[in-house]
């Protein structure tokens, strides 16, 4: 146990660092840093029953750096605390508080070779209170990651200009824990208030749901001449041909290392009368078109199990 000095004993802005220099710190050999008297710890990593007065170092060489306000508060400005550290907002600002502020950086590190436990941030939601929990209800926000800032006059209010949320899709029971991921943003030229809109969603069942236009930034343009041979790249979804005029022949080879379900599209501003659509080595093609033009674009989808491209249109 390390008890911090009184914040009033340090000049405002002065920092103090507690670090495990031995490298022996672990989940069973922790260093607990606690406040002096009634000083407050802003950004507390609580390891007790939720009093919000202590910080635990639980991994080799873990550290925490705190800054004094010169009166009665220590603020975390840098921390590498534990393989799993619980940040409790209710422990700092009272029951019902939804915000926990950490000034500076929090490093999520784990010093263990070939561990199945990865550095991660976790959100945990209960239906009523931590001490008397009930199941999460549909629509409950399990976790959020938001970004906002100073708008030239004040901190943005509401804070978030962009937000990622994990949301329960059903009332939770021991056998039903469906959830979705929601991505929200504020459009340029608008304030955050009333303008944080969902743009994309991944449902618990795996559907990708778009609430705006999709832009294919992988599109590649090519201006071929007759007899051309073009291979579509592995990261290209759309090949657009823009020849100066109609072409007699040409060959398009499909991507060499596609993933399962990958789609390749071919468009042309002019007619290619005799088009050959070829698979890459080890692949086959079903339904390959024999021409392409302004009114006859086509697309192919890849089936990894059979190493086959199938025509979609």
In this prediction, residue 119 carries a pLDDT of 59
Stretch 284-312: mean pLDDT: 98
Assess whether pLDDT exceeds 70 at residue 23: yes
Q: How confident is the model at residue 41 (pLDDT cuts 50, 70, 90)?
A: confident
The predicted structure's pLDDT at residue 64 = 83
pLDDT, position 246: 98
| Predicted pLDDT at 253 | 98
State yes or no: pLDDT of 86 exceeds 70: no
**144 pLDDT above the threshold of 50:** yes
pLDDT higher than 80, residue 6: yes
Could you tell me the pTM of the whole model?
Answer: 0.66
What is the pLDDT, as a whole number, of residue 93? 36
User: How far apart (Å, rounded) are the C-alpha atoms in residues 197 and 171?
Assistant: 24
Q: Decide if pLDDT at 112 tops 90.
A: no
Asked if the model's pLDDT at residue 107 lies above 70, the reply is no
Q: Is residue 108 very low, low, confident or very high in pLDDT (cuts 50, 70, 90)?
A: low
Token code pair at residue 269: 């501003």
Structure tokens of 64? 């925490």
**Burial of 68 from C-beta contacts in 10 A (0-12 / 13-18 / 19+):** buried
pLDDT, mean over the chain: 84
pLDDT at residue 172 tops 70? yes
Contacts of 205 (CB under 8 A, 6+ apart): 178
Which residues neighbour 121 within 8 Å (Cβ) at sequence distance 6 or greater? 108, 143, 145
Find the mean pLDDT for residues 159-171: 95
pLDDT value of position 189 = 97
Question: Does residue 103 have a pLDDT over 50?
Answer: no
Contact, 55 vs 32, CB < 8 A? Answer: yes
Sign of the dihedral through C-alpha 91, 92, 97, 101: negative
pLDDT band at 43 (very low <50, low <70, confident <90, very high): low
| 25 has pLDDT over 80 | yes
Among residues 279, 275, 221, 238, the alpha carbon closest in space to that of 255 is found at 279
Range in 14-23, 180-189, 218-227, 285-294 with the lowest mean pLDDT: 14-23
| Residue with more model confidence, 265 or 18 | 265
Does residue 95 surpass a pLDDT of 80?
no
What pLDDT, on the 0 to 100 scale, is given for residue 117?
52
Q: What is the mean pLDDT of residues 168-183?
A: 97
Task: Tell whether the model's pLDDT for residue 122 goes beyond 80.
Answer: no
Query: Does residue 91 carry a pLDDT above 70?
Result: no
Q: Which residues of 170-182 are buried (b: 16+ CB within 10 A; e: fewer)?
A: bebeeeeeebbeb
- Measured CA angle at 287 (ends 281, 290), to 5 deg: 90
Of all residues in the chain, the percent with pLDDT exceeding 70 is: 81
Confidence of residue 36 (pLDDT cuts 50, 70, 90): confident
Cβ pair 298, 311 in contact under 8 A: yes
Percentage with pLDDT > 90 across the chain? 56
Phi and psi dihedrals of 247, rounded to 5? Answer: -120, 145
């Amino acid at each position: 146990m390390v008890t911090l000095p009184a914040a009033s004993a340090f000049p405002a802005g002065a920092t103090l660092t507690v670090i495990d220099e031995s490298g022996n710190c672990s989940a069973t050999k922790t260093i607990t840093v606690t406040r002096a008297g009634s000083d407050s710890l802003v950004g507390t990593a609580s390891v007790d029953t939720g009093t919000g007065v202590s910080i635990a170092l639980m991994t080799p060489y873990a550290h925490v750096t705190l800054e004094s306000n010169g009166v009665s508060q220590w603020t975390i400005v840098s921390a590498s605390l534990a393989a799993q550290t619980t940040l409790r907002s209710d422990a700092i600002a009272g029951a019902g508080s939804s915000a926990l502020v950490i000034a500076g950086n929090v490093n999520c590190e784990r010093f263990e070779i070939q561990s199945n436990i990865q550095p991660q941030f976790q959100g945990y939601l209960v239906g009523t209170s931590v001490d008397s929990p009930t199941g999460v209800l549909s629509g409950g926000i399990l976790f959020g990651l938001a970004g906002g800032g100073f708008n030239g006059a004040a901190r943005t209010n509401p804070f978030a200009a962009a937000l990622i949320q994990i949301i329960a899709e059903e009332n939770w029971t021991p056998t039903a824990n469906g959830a979705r991921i929601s991505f929200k943003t504020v459009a340029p030229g608008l304030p955050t208030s009333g303008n944080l809109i969902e743009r994309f969603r991944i449902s618990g069942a795996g559907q990708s749901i778009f609430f705006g236009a999709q832009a294919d930034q992988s599109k590649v343009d090519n201006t071929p001449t007759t007899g051309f041979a073009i291979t579509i790249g592995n990261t290209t979804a759309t090949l657009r041909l823009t020849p100066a005029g109609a072409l007699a022949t040409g060959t398009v080879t499909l991507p060499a290392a596609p993933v399962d379900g990958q789609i390749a599209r071919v468009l042309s501003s002019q007619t290619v009368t005799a088009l050959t659509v070829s698979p890459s080595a080890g692949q086959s093609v079903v339904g390959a078109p024999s021409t392409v033009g302004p009114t006859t674009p086509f697309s192919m989808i890849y089936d990894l199990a059979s190493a086959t491209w199938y025509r979609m249109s």
